Chains A and B, each alone.
Chain A
Amino acid sequence: MSEEYKVKVEHLTKYFGDLHVLDDVSFNIKKGEFLCVVGPTGCGKTTFLNLLTRIYMPTRGELYIDGEPADPKRHNLSVVFQEPSAMPWLTVEKNLRFGMEIKKLPKEEIDRRVENMIKLLGLEEFRDRYPHQLSVSTAQRIIIGRAFAMQPDLLLMDEPYGQMDIKLRFYLEDEVIRLWKEMGTTVVFITHNIEEAVYLAERVLILTNKPAKIREEVKVDLPRPRKVSDPEFIKIRNHVTEQIRWW
């Protein structure tokens, strides 16, 4: 039964001092599922990811990956952070190699995956540049490539496309869907952008304001590729928007 779920979240509660961020949150993520988490600004979405990766420890409750308490050292997971987090002293190519070298993958395999990512993300002309020589959106592509190259079975993405123009966003969104389908990765994608959530997710988890609880789960079973101007799409987007109601 633990095989069915990639992630189980049980009674997850987090306080930072007096600040109550997550309030008794429980849900499961199926193996191979694409889950988007949306919620008002500052509601605790990033805190949830930071608990899953053990950057923080929960105040109460627990997170399980493959039936075991979450442990980034044991589980094969990758994180794409919101802020640019490419290593400034490494070139684009060396940034892409970094994680795989730590994991001691064979050189040929690293070469193959790096070339694939460079091609996929259009980084050819930037291969020998350093992050500070790149635009923000280009630098962010290194982070995405670095995460994909690890071929994780759990991919955590925290608002990765916030800085990008929409054409590039749709391109990379389609890319993440392609990789998800090809590799059977379980993806948890956090975003403020409701259109993006409805475009990507099989299921959208809507969080309330702090202290965050689950307000609603919305299943999105529209065929892919999805069209943002499709009336069914708009219906779901409107519904999710109303549930968040930040204005």
Chain B
Amino acid sequence: MSMDKKKQVILSLKNISQSFVVKDEVKPAVENVSLDVYDNEFLVVLGPGHCGKTVLMNVIAGIEKPIEGQIFLKGEEIHGNDRRIGMVFQSLNLMPWRTVMGNVEFGLELAGMEKKKRRAIAQKYIDLVRLTGFEHSYPHELSGGMKQRVGIARAYTNNPEILIMDEPFGALDAQTRYAMEEEVLRIWKEEKRTVIFVTNNIEEAVFLADRVILLSNCPAKVKQVYDLSPLGRPRDLMDPEFLRFRTEISDNTDLAL
């Protein structure tokens, strides 16, 4: 194919629908979502609170099986969990009895990699997220931002081609959040991966994304796709063009009470 290298599709969702059950009642959570994700792009999936974003991510990560639709990774249909897709969760689920190193190397340990080799890989990503010196600290000794760094290092260690980050900064205070947004861009530049970043924060979406997929209120449908490449990088939160994008997306976002 004569496609531009930068615009190569790595992941493709076709007509994905998913439901969940509350009190014997089936509720649609995701409705007929189709989208392409490009290789090495920073894609942000934006939607109001509890609109079905996490359900959609769980489907991509193979944690949930969709009731309808197909997922293609590099042109091949995938079913269920695939090692090439990694995830950073909103609630990190770090193991409190394991050190930073113990948490980061866990996936490789499960995969049966010998200690010296897996330590070297884990150390590389601990350094990447700038936690050097905290290898032997336990999660309860770390701040919220540092815990998120552990989560990112852990996901990178498994060397995924696609990294899903599901509202990783939702529980951080605004200042730590701004700092972590810059960090995640730095990490992404240094170790390019395809990132699918989920958030309900419009400012965060406009700051991070190459493209924004705006979802509707529950059930999640693709409402609009925004190309933010005209903004260039690095971006200034108070630049008029930045604020114009923010307002445009904000006006088009559903209010979810």
Contact = CB atoms under 8 A, between A and B. Distances in A.
Interface of A: 40-41, 121-122, 135, 137-138, 159, 162-168, 171, 191-195, 228-229, 234, 237-238, 244, 246-247
Nearest to A194: B174
Contacts of A166: 200-203, 250, 253
A192 B257 contact: no
Interface residues of B, number: 27
B256 interface: yes
Contacts, number: 70
Given A167-B254, A247-B179, 5 more contacts: A41-B175, A122-B257, A137-B50, A165-B48, A229-B243
A168 B257 CA distance: 7
B179 A137 contact: no
A234 B243 CA distance: 10
Given A121-B257, A229-B244, A168 B49 contact: yes
A195 to B, nearest CB: 8
Nearest to B255: A167
Contacts of A138: 49-50
Contacts of B48: 165, 167-168
B171 interface: yes
Contacts of A194: 174
A234 B238 contact: yes
Nearest to A234: B238
16 contacts: A40-B175, A159-B173, A162-B174, A165-B201, A165-B202, A165-B256, A166-B200, A166-B253, A168-B48, A168-B49, A228-B243, A229-B244, A229-B246, A234-B238, A237-B238, A246-B175
B224 interface: no
B137 interface: no
Interface of B: 48-50, 170-171, 173-176, 178-179, 200-203, 238, 240, 243-244, 246-247, 250, 253-257
Contacts of A162: 171, 173-174
B173 to A, nearest CB: 4
Nearest to B244: A229
A149 B243 CA distance: 35
B206 to A, nearest CB: 11
Which of A137, A162, A165 has the most B CB atoms < 10 Å from its CB? A165
Nearest to B242: A229
B50 A192 contact: no
A191 B243 contact: no
Contacts of A246: 175, 178-179
A154 to B, nearest CB: 24
A148 B202 CA distance: 27
Shortest 4 CB-CB distances between A and B: which pairs? A122-B257, A165-B200, A192-B174, A229-B243
